[in-house]
Amino acid sequence: MRYEDFYRQSIDEPERFWGEQARLIHWDTPPERILDQSRPPFRRWFAGGTTNLCYNAVDRHLAERGEQLALVAVSSETGITREISYRVLYREVNRFAAILQSLEVGRGDRVVIYMPNMAEAVYAMLACARIGAIHSVVFGGFASHNLALRIDDAAPKLLICADAGMRGGKVIPYKPLVDAALAEASQPPPHVLIVDRGLDPQMTRVAGRDLDYARLRAEHMNAEVPVAWLESNEPSYLLYTSGTTGKPKGIQRDVGGYAVAMALSIRTVFDIAPGQVMFSTSDVGWAVGHSYNVYGPLIGGATSLLYEGLPTRPDPGVWWRLCEQYGVRTMFSSPTGIRVLKKQDPGWLKKYDLSMLKWLFLAGEPLDEPTAEWITQGLGVPVIDNYWQTETGWPAITLMPGLDLKPVKFGSPGLPAPGYRMKVIDEATGREAKAGEKGVLVFEPPLPPGCLSTVWRDDERYVASYFSHFKELLYSSLDWAIRDADGYTTILGRTDDVINVAGHRLGTREIEESVASHPAVAEAAVVGVKDELKGQVPVVFATLKQDAGDGAAAVAQAMQLRVVEQLGGVAKPSRVYVVNALPKTRSGKLLRRSLQALAEQRDPGDLSTLDDPGALDEVRRALERGPDQGS
């Protein structure tokens, strides 16, 4: 089918379109209504239908493809590869689900999962889905404070963690971070279930609270746990993401809509049919990891390759070797991942037989043209940039090679995916921008299936964060965009204080709060500054209290350390500048955009509201002098 017709039908006749797509999954009870829009901007897809993500991802495939590989978990860190068939996956998920039940975790209870890319993380997610518990996977690169914030918001009944992760051959113990997070949290769960790979011999356990997965698994080897049939709009999982405040938002996903979006996108966007192999390099803790390392490929009856390790270890050919070995058809990674490889010998791209590889998808941050060109030529396969957000759960702007591939235009992720009523509108007037005019990317309700249902336990925040920016009820992506005459959209960056470091979304406010918690710091401003490898990096400008005592360099170093300890290495400020004053408006608002512009050697823009011009000179001098910490 032509893309244009497919898309048009999804917009003009949404109930007919999605009613047909709903047949891609198994329903225990068919939906009573395809779309319930009685309370906009909320919407309920497939209302009254009952289904289950785990059933669709595992049980449904047993008859036809029980012996086929469902998951290949490769770790270049531990050197261990595990090949797991659908039948084995079924057994493991049932054991895990029985463990959850033995710990009195049931339907609607939250379970926080803090693990690297390992098979047990997938078992844990699917086991939660099986019994109707709501998982919330927290990225392993986040440190204790970030974990504590998420625990307090989700109020979980159980936390599941690994003893440790590994990065570049170095063991990173997780358990001490869990202990610190639980000490900080006001809603700590009664139990911690530890999947111990024996990586951290020093790991300590709290008697009565901490439980050993291997021991409990042995007690449930033959368990069969019935599937909980959930109404389509019950929550399936939470995934926290950064916004403009210091408090992350719990993006809430439903069951039926998400399952349908996964079943549709794995075929038409990612061009994966049952039995084919998909390799997504994302961490399970991110939105891509949920959708295309776990649910998408498994709901689609495919094989998912899950990789723990760096793209450059043991050598920069490791991804391509895996593509050859497992016959990967579609690979999914991030522009930063490719920029890392671009620094290596391009010969690695030609060393392996990639005749099975058809597509490389890249997402999470802007894909710069030189990188797109380098990898397209190096691999000899089309590179598909696709735009989405944690909120959308699947691509909102993309090309759809599984349906009908439109021409790739470097610099643009392409055209709207089915169901996305996309517009680019003028920020001030709310009118639709003409081709070539910059505006804000918005989606008219109803959001398609798969997108967030709300913010966890905070409907008001859902409306305030996403639907209150314009007179009309529109979902604001909070991204600037521009559309060309063919309808191809290019993303020009965020309209808010969110920054994108190596494809990881971080709130500058979260980093500012962490920096400002240092007793010597009076005030801090954090901005995202362009970086050749990571897209953006966080840069701190801070003023110190008068009696700060230690020298600027010592405090700057302590600020950097504090962020790593509280938030994690992903948020580490690349540079810290100690200044005597920060540029502010007369009403006291920090002029972050001017700071960012100066740090990127650009014009600082409109300064009519600037209170003290001296503060800007102060920043200029600091930039010339060089950072007090970092390079």
Interface residues with ligand AMP (CB under 6 A)? 241, 287, 363-367, 385-390, 413, 477, 479, 491, 494, 500, 505
133 versus 424: smaller Cβ distance to ligand AMP? 424
Task: Report in angstroms how near the CB of residue 364 gets to ligand AMP at its nearest.
Answer: 5
Taking the least distance from each CB to ligand AMP, the nearer of 181 and 363 is 363
If the CB atoms of residues 41 and 413 are measured against ligand AMP, the closer one turns out to be: 413
Minimum distance from residue 287 beta carbon to ligand AMP (Å): 5
Helix (H) or strand (E) holding 194: strand 191-195
Find the shortest distance in angstroms from Cβ 223 to ligand AMP.
36
User: What is the distance, to the nearest Å, from the Cα of residue 184 to the centroid of all Cα atoms in its chain?
Assistant: 25
| CB crowding 56-78: b at 16 or more within 10 Å, else e | bbbbbbeeebeeebbbbbbbbbb
Contact criterion met (CB below 8 Å) for 500 and 494: yes
Q: Smallest gap, in angstroms, from Cβ of residue 444 to ligand AMP?
A: 18
CB of 430 closer than 8 Å to CB of 471: yes
The tokens describing 83, both together, are 């090949």
Q: Is 187 helix (H, G, I), strand (E, B) or coil?
A: coil
Q: Which is nearer to ligand AMP, 49 or 366 (CB)?
A: 366
Rounded least distance, CB 475 to ligand AMP, Å: 12
Show the tokens assigned to 386. Answer: 């696709």
CA distance 82 to 461: 42
Residue located via tokens 């350390």:
561
Residues near 626 by beta carbon (within 8 Å), at least 6 away in sequence: none
Q: C-alpha angle with apex 597: 559 to 343, nearest 5 degrees? A: 75
Q: Please say which residue, 265 or 386, places its beta carbon nearer to ligand AMP.
A: 386
Q: Which residues contact 21 (CB under 8 A, 6 or more apart)?
A: 260, 263, 264, 449
For residue 494, the minimal CB distance to ligand AMP (Å) is 5
> Cα(568)–Cα(576) distance, rounded to whole angstroms?
16
Strands 575-578 and 535-544, how do they pair?
Answer: parallel
Cβ closer to ligand AMP: 188 or 285? 285
CB of 413 to ligand AMP, least distance (A): 4
Q: How far is 536 from 514, CA to CA, in rounded Å?
A: 19
Q: How far is CA 33 from CA 17, 21, 46, 363, 618, in A?
A: 13, 14, 6, 33, 61
Q: How far is the CB of 449 from ligand AMP (least distance, A)?
A: 18
- Whose Cβ is closer to ligand AMP: residue 421's or residue 494's? 494
**Cβ 451 to ligand AMP, closest distance in Å?**
12
- Say if residues 412 and 385 touch (Cβ distance below 8 Å): yes
Give the contacts of 212 (CB within 8 A, at least 6 positions apart).
193, 194, 196
Strands 110-114 and 237-241, bridge-based pairing: unpaired
Q: Which lies closer to ligand AMP via its Cβ, residue 366 or residue 450? A: 366
Separation between Cα atoms, residue 308 and residue 303, nearest integer Å:
16
Name the residue nearer to ligand AMP (CB basis): 18 or 387.
387
CB of 387 to ligand AMP, least distance (A): 4
Nearer to ligand AMP, 320 or 387 (CB): 387
- Phi-psi category of residue 129: left, alpha or beta, with phi > 0 → left and psi -120 to 50 → alpha: alpha
Of residues 85 and 490, the one with the C-beta less far from ligand AMP: 490
Q: In angstroms, give the least distance from the CB of 424 to ligand AMP.
A: 14
